[in-house]
Copies of this chain bind each other. A is one copy, B any other.
Amino acid sequence: MSLKRLGDPSVISDAVIHNNIVYLAGQVAEDPVSPSVYEQTKNILAQIDALLKQAGTDKTKIIKTNIWLSDISTFQDMNKAWKEWVVKGEAPARATVEAKLADAKWKVEIMMTAAI
Pair A9/B88 contact, Cβ less than 8 Å = yes
Copies in the complex: 3
Pair A93/B13 contact, Cβ less than 8 Å = yes
Q: When chains A and B are docked, how far (Å) is the Cα of A68 from the Cα of B92? A: 19
- Of A30-38, A40-48, A58-66, the one touching chain B: A58-66
Q: Which residues does chain B contribute within 8 Å of A15, judged by CB atoms?
A: 93
Question: Interface residues of A: mostly helix, strand, loop or mixed?
Answer: mixed
Pick from B12, B92, B115: contact of A13, CB under 8 Å: B92
Pair A12/B101 contact, Cβ less than 8 Å = no
Q: Which of A79-116 contact B (CB under 8 A)?
A: 79, 82-83, 86, 88-102, 109, 111, 113, 115
